[in-house]
Amino acid sequence: MEKREYHVKLKFTTPVLGTSNTSSFYLQKNREEIEKLRRELEKHGIDAQVGDAEDGLEAIEEIGKKMTVFRRDEKGNPILLGYMIKGFLKTATATLDLFMKAKRGKKEPEPLSEYMVKKVIDLHFFPTYQIHFLDERGEIITDSLVKVFERPLRGMTAQGERVTIAISEMIEPPCFIEFDITCVMPEKVEKLLPQFSGNDPILQYLREAFLYGEYCGIGQFRSGQFGRFVIQELRKNEA
């Protein structure tokens, strides 16, 4: 089976927000801090089985219900997962009409439906599974550099307009992500890219798709212009 691999490096120009429901890692990390405090108090003969420590656990659980966070690797560092890159490609491809197909009786090729765009990307494009955030020196951004961002959410209910607070983990620029994308059976994908000429239409397609990241990014609250990025590097990996 033929395949091609492409290397991508993106630079975020606006803060990135986590999208996952509060992870077991995040809750466990805070539980451990509270348990540590409890043990220290007990060393001094203070009963800490109830009171502030218990209240703290309940508060963490309550925050977790309305907080979005980053996924973590085995060391606790924030990461993006490859499916988020796929999701971005689906949005950009459908919005920009980048996949085209000739139809019988039509002189010009027509854009694929959004459903077919999703099918093609799901079956042919496979990004790196775990993608770390990097600083300007190329070092992995650790959990200690993750901040918290709060914003109001407005919504209409049967009782009228209601406002609640949404909380997300945040990584501020300058930060980067670097990953590979494998395209399997590229000859089938190239048939959907008649508007791109040259030796590698898929490379041109990826460049056009990722350019959309200057306007619509990755992560939570993209409509608020969070998670926008520019291309730092995009090339085909040599076999």
Q: Around Cβ 98, how many Cβ atoms within 10 Å?
A: 22
Do 49 and 74 lie in a common domain? no
Nearest alpha carbon to residue 176 among 141, 130, 223: 141
Q: How far is it, in rounded angstroms, from Cα 183 to Cα 42?
A: 58
pLDDT in tens, 100-138: 998 777 788 899 999 999 999 999 999 999 999 999 999
Do 42 and 138 lie in a common domain? no
Do 186 and 167 lie in a common domain? yes
Which has the minimum average pLDDT: 16-25, 39-48, 81-90, 157-166?
A: 39-48
- Using an 8 Å Cβ cutoff, are 131 and 81 in contact? yes
Of all helices (H) and strands (E), which one includes residue 221? none
Do 55 and 83 lie in a common domain? no
Do 179 and 212 lie in a common domain? yes
Q: Is residue 44 predicted with pLDDT exceeding 90?
A: no
Instruction: Report the pLDDT averaged over residues 180-199.
Output: 94
Given this model, what pLDDT does residue 43 score? 65
Tokens of 89: 């490609």
Given this model, what pLDDT does residue 23 score? 54
Q: How many alpha carbons lie under 13 Å from residue 133 in its C-beta half-sphere?
A: 29
Phi, psi torsion values for 74, nearest 5 degrees: -65, -20
Which of the pair, 151 or 35, is modelled with greater confidence? Answer: 151
Do 116 and 222 lie in a common domain? yes
Q: How far is it, in rounded angstroms, from Cα 59 to Cα 64?
A: 9
- Using an 8 Å Cβ cutoff, are 162 and 155 in contact? yes
Do 87 and 184 lie in a common domain? yes
Which has the minimum average pLDDT: 51-55, 96-100, 187-191, 233-237?
A: 51-55
Count of structural domains within the chain: 2
Q: What is the pTM of this model?
A: 0.82
Do 169 and 224 lie in a common domain? yes
Q: What is the DSSP letter of 4?
A: E
Local confidence band at 53 (pLDDT 50, 70, 90 cut-offs):
very low
Which of 64, 83, 116 is a domain's end point? 64
Given this model, what pLDDT does residue 50 score? 42
Do 115 and 227 lie in a common domain? yes
Mean residue pLDDT across the chain: 86
Do 40 and 86 lie in a common domain? no
Q: Residue 54 is part of which domain span?
A: 23-64
Do 159 and 44 lie in a common domain? no
> What is the domain-level CATH number for residue 225?
3.30.70
Tokens of 11: 């630079």
Q: Around Cβ 192, how many Cβ atoms within 10 Å?
A: 24
The answer, yes or no, to whether the previous bond of 174 is cis (omega within 30 of 0) is yes
Q: Is residue 174 predicted with pLDDT exceeding 50?
A: yes
